[in-house]
Amino acid sequence: MQDPEALQQLMGSGLLQPEDTPEQAAALARLETLLALVEGWVDDVVDTAIAERLPSAVQLRETIRRRRAAGGPAEKTFSTLIGMDLRPRLAREAATLFAVVRAGRGVEARDALWAHPDLLPGPDDLGDPLGFIETSATDLDFGLDQE
């Protein structure tokens, strides 16, 4: 305790770093999926809103995706604070999933996924949007057909 350099080396060596538990890893995976879902939903809403109004929408979308892939302050903050690396691929897959739900069931069904946590797609669903729609076909009705 008297030698600050030795204490700094000890802290930097990882010896005092607690080990991650399986529960923490699962929570981190859920958080990463939820953040990807938020980004994917926002991407789909924005794409729908600007599709016919902004002639350079495709180029703008590509610029934003490249910037996201390069990483920014949010990604660095999450990495530093909780050790989570946000993967742009998950956000792209989430955007695709929301676009597929919107195309197949409409905007109301896409937005109704947020009505309850059990309705949200999981990590496995992001890679297979059509499978998600098939396996949750009854849940995706959300009573929208009822008056």
The whole-number pLDDT of residue 143 equals 44
Residue whose C-alpha is closest to residue 40's, from 117, 95, 111, 80: 95
Q: Given pLDDT bands bounded at 50, 70 and 90, which one contains residue 6? A: confident
pLDDT of the residue at 127: 85
User: What is this structure's pTM?
Assistant: 0.74
The pLDDT of residue 144 is above 60: no
Q: What is the pLDDT of residue 67?
A: 79
Q: Is 9 within 8 Å of 15 (Cβ atoms)?
A: no
Mean pLDDT of the chain: 81
- pLDDT, one tens digit per residue, over 15-60 is 666 677 899 888 888 888 999 999 999 999 998 988 888 888 888 8
What pLDDT sits at residue 45? 94
Say how far apart CA 36 and CA 42 lie, in whole Å: 10
- Asked if 97 and 126 count as a contact pair (C-beta separation under 8 A), the reply is yes
Report residue 71's pLDDT band, with 50, 70 and 90 as the boundaries: confident
